[in-house]
Amino acid sequence: MDIVIIGLLLGGTYALMAMGLQLQYGVARIMNLANGEILIAGAFSTFWFYAGTKASPLLALFLVVPVAFLLNWAIYRVLLYPLVRRAKSQGKLEVDSILATFGLSFISVGVMLAIFGGEYLDYSYLSQPIFIFGERYGLNRIVAFLASAALCVSLYVWLHRTRAGLVLRAVSVNPSASGLVAINVVRTSALAFALGGAVTAAGGGLLSMFLTFDVSLGVVFTLKALIIVILGGVGDIRGTIVAAFILGLAETAVATLIDPGLTLAAAYILFMIVLLVRPEGLFGRRAA
Amino acid sequence: MSTIEQRGWAVVDGIANAFRSGFSVSAGERRTLLVSALIFIAAGLVPLIFGGYALQLAISIVMYAGFATSWLLFSGPTNYIALSTAAFFGIGMYITAGGIDLLPYPVLILASGVAGAAMAAVMGLATLRVSGVYFVIFSLGLAELVRQFMTWGQHVLGTMSGLYVTIDRSEPMYFWQLLLLAAVIYLVGWRIGRSRLGFALRIIGNDELVAVHCGINTARAKVVLFIISSAFASIEGAIVAPRWGYVEPGVAFNPFLSFQVVIMALLGGTQRLWGPLLGVIPFVLLWELIAINFPSQTTLLLGVCFLLIVYVIPNGITGLVEDAWSRRATIGKSGSGPVQRVIDASVGPLRQLLRRKNGNA
């Protein structure tokens, strides 16, 4: 039972970070391999904020999110948009953006190493236990889950109920056709990329409330987010949320039942199964 | 842009060119082989002249030359960036370290190649049937995945996490072994380039849809090539293992290696088999300087190298050389029609290659 609950709580936070990547890959068509580093940056900034002010880490999000938004917007406009313009095909763009974001991820790891140092960081906030069905869980996990759920729901509603969300979804389905109906594709892509980065950073801030971080962990989170996005289907927010829960459950099950060192292996086995059985993802559209 | 009809014509054009150039060894190719053989023999003299630090650098260079060329065998024609070198290298190291007391060394080298090939087959069959991005993502985490399994396996079996490999080999011996392996990789790559498989892969790299329409089993071709390329990386691990002496999961499966190999190959250029060689030599020397002078900033500087390559020299050193070359060659020949331009865009690199061969013959 506690596997299920811890898995779901973890999955809820994973959903947020994967939604960030989903926006970047699904809408802006950038395979952003520096996504995990944005998450780590969010986590570390939250840690700093908490260490400095002793105020709730949730308040840190109000600072982290806008900064991450601006930073990612700048990254898209300065570094990635020239690649989009240069690319002759989607395949070429993928190769270029993978290489460029790799470079970016290494640079950010290097910069963060210089700023934060190489130690593991964690802090205890709301670590008193809370009892559900007679089992004890950290209150911080529950608060992080609720905050992340609130953000996911508002993002979902925003995407499906507002005009701006509709524009984003249109670009996600077909960028060139969106251009024909007077959508500014470049601006929308930049917006989606920036928003994706902000959401990922928020996910990092929430994860930092109950996980231990170090600078080099970014790539692991990038992989997890990628696997969630693929599992759920590229361009489908519902799929991402469902897939995040599946991954959260699978990881928790493997960590408790077999060995905590095998969490990535659990994610990879899921990935393998998806590729073999349903490469377009749970909710994805089959490519023509 | 191009309609199916135009793509079809482009294919016919490419095939016709390929037949015209013929598949026998032309005079130009014989010259290339001869020059390559001379270069390898000259390189073989290095340990006789240099020793100590210079020889160590030379060993690094031949080691990375092997890695980068075997990486290129697969990633060059398909444009799929494989980040799994470290995983296959680590497998080779572990097999050698684990079996050194049980089996003779040459058998272990062979076994490493087979194990690498088997792992590549599983991974290739799962990922290469679908989009290339999935392959890249999978390869990115492969080293970490195998490392987790290894650590866990050793934990369950209760063995030590590190293994010692003790066989007596002098430094020049390592150099010659690695040089021989690099020569074999180069030769295999050259042979593949002139085979049906190589031709199929060039078409896949230019336009996968065209390749499918030609009746090429694209998934099979890619998997076969990935197996060959990865088996070499594992063999490389088997050769290097005794030099390191001590094998431990964190060292054997260090993902940094995969990225360095990619950078070197991209720096050299992925359009020519000898491209990586041009990238490996300057990069190994540059990296040595970086590692000595800025030991704590290596990650940062590796990132800077990645960005520089993507934005400044996207086609690598060979690309720069060839741009200059073709600009000189095509003056006065421009002004081709739109159909010609579409054909050039679809089968351009292949045609250029073949045309130059024809010119030499």
pLDDT over threshold 80, residue B2? no
Identify the bridge partners of residue A213 per DSSP, sorted by sequence position.
Answer: A121
Please report whether residue B340 resides in a domain: no
Rg (CA), chain A: 18
Please report whether residue B341 resides in a domain: no
Rg (CA), chain B: 21
C-alpha span between A190 and A168 (Å, rounded): 10
Identify the bridge partners of residue A130 per DSSP, sorted by sequence position.
Answer: A137
Question: In this structure, are residues A5 and A137 in contact, taking their beta carbons and an 8 Å threshold?
Answer: yes
A59 touches chain B (CB under 8 A): no
Average pLDDT across chain A, whole number: 85
Question: In this structure, are residues B259 and B302 in contact, taking their beta carbons and an 8 Å threshold?
Answer: yes
Identify the bridge partners of residue A138 per DSSP, sorted by sequence position.
Answer: A129
C-alpha span between A42 and A65 (Å, rounded): 8
**Who contacts B33 (Cβ-Cβ below 8 Å, separation ≥6)?**
B25, B190
Would the CA dihedral through B279, B120, A240, A175 be positive or negative? positive
Chain B residues whose CB is inside 8 A of the A21 CB are none
Give Cα separations from A108 to A34, A96, A104, A219 (angstroms): 8, 18, 6, 12
Residue with tokens 């994973």: A14
B304/A219 CB distance under 8 A: no
Helices and strands per DSSP (H, E), number in chain A: 12, 2
A96 touches chain B (CB under 8 A): yes
C-alpha span between B216 and B127 (Å, rounded): 18
Residue with tokens 């050193």: B317
Phi, psi torsion values for B167, nearest 5 degrees: -135, 155
Assign residue B134 the CATH number of its domain.
Answer: 1.10.3470
B residues 328-357 closer than 8 Å to A (CB): 345
Residue with tokens 């099950």: A253
B307/A104 CB distance under 8 A: yes
Tokens of B324: 């200059």
C-alpha span between A200 and B49 (Å, rounded): 55
C-alpha span between B321 and B87 (Å, rounded): 33
Q: In this predicted structure, what is the pLDDT of residue A194?
A: 94
C-alpha span between B33 and B111 (Å, rounded): 30
**A95, A234, A257, A277: which to substitute to probe chain B, counting the most B Cβ within 10 Å?**
A95
B296 touches chain A (CB under 8 A): yes
**Who contacts B101 (Cβ-Cβ below 8 Å, separation ≥6)?**
none
pLDDT over threshold 50, residue B334? no
Q: How far is B175 from chain A (nearest CA, A)?
A: 31
DSSP summary character for residue A26: I
B209 touches chain A (CB under 8 A): no
Chain B residues whose CB is inside 8 A of the A227 CB are 137
Where along chain A do its domains lie?
Answer: 9-217
pTM: predicted TM-score of the whole model, two decimal places: 0.82
Question: In this structure, are residues B253 and B90 in contact, taking their beta carbons and an 8 Å threshold?
Answer: yes
A107/B145 CB distance under 8 A: no
Stretch (H or E) spanning A138: strand A135-138
Q: List, for residues B110-144, the tens digit of each pLDDT value.
A: 999 999 999 999 988 888 877 778 888 888 888 88
Torsion (CA) B228, B232, B234, B235 in degrees, nearest 10:
130
Q: List, for residues A214-252, the tens digit of each pLDDT value.
A: 888 888 889 899 999 888 888 788 888 899 999 999 998
Q: In this predicted structure, what is the pLDDT of residue B361?
A: 35
Within a 10 A sphere around the Cβ of B25, how many other Cβ atoms? Answer: 11
Question: In this structure, are residues B83 and B262 in contact, taking their beta carbons and an 8 Å threshold?
Answer: yes
A109 touches chain B (CB under 8 A): yes
A109/B299 CB distance under 8 A: yes
Q: List, for residues B155-171, the tens digit of each pLDDT value.
A: 777 666 677 777 777 88
DSSP summary character for residue A136: E
| ipTM for the whole complex | 0.83
Q: Determine the residue of chain B that is closest to A272 in CA distance.
A: B126
C-alpha span between A71 and A65 (Å, rounded): 10
C-alpha span between B230 and B236 (Å, rounded): 10
Q: List, for residues A49-85, the tens digit of each pLDDT value.
A: 888 887 788 888 888 899 999 999 999 998 888 888 8
pLDDT over threshold 80, residue B349? no
Q: How far is B110 from chain A (nearest CA, A)?
A: 27
Closest CB to A103 among B127, B137, B303: B303
Stretch (H or E) spanning A137: strand A135-138
Q: List, for residues A101-152, the tens digit of each pLDDT value.
A: 989 999 998 888 888 777 777 777 766 666 766 666 778 888 888 888 888 8
Within a 10 A sphere around the Cβ of A130, how many other Cβ atoms? Answer: 14
Mean pLDDT of A88-97: 79
Chain B residues whose CB is inside 8 A of the A233 CB are none
B residues 141-200 closer than 8 Å to A (CB): 141, 144-145, 148-149, 151-152, 155
Tokens of B328: 């000189």
**Who contacts B290 (Cβ-Cβ below 8 Å, separation ≥6)?**
B297, B298, B301
Question: In this structure, are residues A201 and A77 in contact, taking their beta carbons and an 8 Å threshold?
Answer: no
> Where in the sequence is the domain holding B147, given as residue range(s)?
45-299
C-alpha span between B335 and B355 (Å, rounded): 18
**Pairing between strand B163-164 and A135-138?**
unpaired
Chain B residues whose CB is inside 8 A of the A98 CB are 81, 133, 136
Q: In this predicted structure, what is the pLDDT of residue B336?
A: 46
Tokens of B114: 């087979």
Question: In this structure, are residues A218 and A109 in contact, taking their beta carbons and an 8 Å threshold?
Answer: yes
* Number of domains forming the structure of chain B: 1
Chain B residues whose CB is inside 8 A of the A88 CB are 345
A129 touches chain B (CB under 8 A): no
Please report whether residue B18 resides in a domain: no
**Who contacts B285 (Cβ-Cβ below 8 Å, separation ≥6)?**
B57
Chain B residues whose CB is inside 8 A of the A259 CB are 152, 155
Mean pLDDT of A152-178: 89
pLDDT over threshold 80, residue B14? no
C-alpha span between B34 and B30 (Å, rounded): 6
Please calculate the CA angle A142-A144-A145 and round it to the nearest 5 degrees.
65
Chain A residues whose CB is inside 8 A of the B296 CB are 113
Q: What's the gap between Cα B347 and its chain centre?
A: 22
More confident residue, B340 or B52: B52
Strands (E), chain B: 163-164, 246-247
Within a 10 A sphere around the Cβ of B158, how many other Cβ atoms? Answer: 6
Q: List, for residues B257-288, the tens digit of each pLDDT value.
A: 888 899 889 888 887 888 888 889 888 998 88
B144/A271 CB distance under 8 A: no
Give Cα separations from B268 to A100, A120, B273, B275, B315 (angstroms): 17, 38, 10, 5, 8
Give Cα separations from A28 to A10, A70, A193, A233 (angstroms): 27, 16, 6, 15
Chain B residues whose CB is inside 8 A of the A83 CB are 310
Please report whether residue B269 resides in a domain: yes
Average pLDDT across chain B, whole number: 80
Closest CB to A110 among B130, B132, B300: B300
**pLDDT grade, residue B301 (50/70/90)?**
confident
B130/A102 CB distance under 8 A: no
